[in-house]
Structures are given as C-alpha cells and as structure tokens.
Amino acid sequence: MIKQPPSNNTATGITQGDTHQQLSCTTIIMSALLATREALFPHMTDEYFERIVKRRGHGLPNQYSLDETNAWMDRVLHDLRSSEHDLESERNTIRHACIRLRCVKCRRPCQEIQDGSFVESHRPCIFPCGHIIGSSCYEDMILLYTYTELQSPTCP
C-alpha cells in the first residue's frame, strides 16, 4: 500500500492532516465543555442552554456570588426585553432553570434541584461581598475563628 502525503493548501499553509487535527481538538473541547456544563448545571435544560447561554452568548451564571448571579440575570432579561414576555415570570423561570446557589467553601449546592427550595441543613448565607456560604459551613468557620482567636471571619 502506498502512503499519500497529506494534501497541502498553499494559499493557507494548512495541510489536510492539520485540518483533521483541528476538528478533533474542537470536538474534544466541545465535549469537555458540555460535560462541565452537565456537571455544574445538571438542572439546566438543553433548551435554556441553547437559547440563553450558547446562542445569545451570555455564558454560564456564577453560582457562588449573588452579585454576579444578579448581573447575569439582568443581562439575560435585558436581552429578552425585546420580546413580549412577562418579565417577572420569565425571571422566575430562568432563575429556577439556570441558577442553583452553591456554597463557596464546600462547593455543594444550597438548593434542591426539583423545586429550588433551600437545603435545610445548608441554607445559604450571603457575605457582604456577595459570596454565598452554606449555614453548616458558616457555623464551622465561626467555631474555627472562635477557637483559634483570629479576627472576625472573612470570605473563604
């Protein structure tokens, strides 16, 4: 069997092998991003991912900072204002479908997937900087600061 050298596009300097390698890298990156999205946002439906995050270019919301989450929500709603939606119900729908608050210390969710209610043992507390920490992690942090005689607790 005779091996053929990769075809060369002299105008761009890209060989057929390079193009194939670029496509496979793109496929790997896209599948990694999809896996990341599914790991961090298992509750976000493909409809919302396609409609808001991917097509409109808003990116994924930050689940660890209330200020950044609200800024993301404002950008999405500003983009949707051109359509004739009931913005308050749209806000609640997007909030429930796309955002699930997480503890900045342990990274566990502070909300249930099914109904968006708070996890009772890990209710979210919000620092002045806007970061979210679960109540059990906050209590552990307060005990640590109490027994080590450090200054007042700050954002982890």
Output b/e per residue, 103-142; b: 16+ Cβ within 10 A. Answer: bbbeeebbbeeeeeeebeebebbebeebbbbbbbbbeebe
- Residues of the chain with pLDDT > 70: what percent? 40
Residue 95, pLDDT score: 63
Enter the pTM of the model.
Answer: 0.45
* pLDDT of 98 above 80: no
* pLDDT of 12 above 50: no
Q: Which residue has the higher pLDDT, 23 or 102?
A: 102
Task: Give the span between the Cα atoms of 143 and 76, in whole angstroms.
Answer: 39
Task: Give the span between the Cα atoms of 132 and 125, in whole angstroms.
Answer: 6
* pLDDT of 30 above 70: no
Residue 78, pLDDT score: 74
Tokens standing for 13? 């300097």
Q: Which residue has the higher pLDDT, 12 or 98?
A: 98
| Residue-averaged pLDDT of the chain | 68
Q: Which residue has the higher pLDDT, 133 or 77?
A: 133
pLDDT, tens only, 43-91:
666 666 666 666 666 777 777 777 887 787 777 777 766 655 555 666 6
Phi, psi torsion values for 131, nearest 5 degrees: -70, 150
What would the DSSP string read from start to end of the chain?
A: -PPPPPPEETTTTEEHHHHHHHHHHHHHHHHHHHHHHHHH-TTS-HHHIIIIIISS---PPPSSBHHHHHHHHHHHHHHHTTS---HHHHHHHHHHHH---B-TTT--BSB-TTT-PBPGGG-EEE-TTSBEEEHHHHHHHHHHHHHHT-SS----
Residue 66, pLDDT score: 76
* pLDDT of 133 above 80: yes
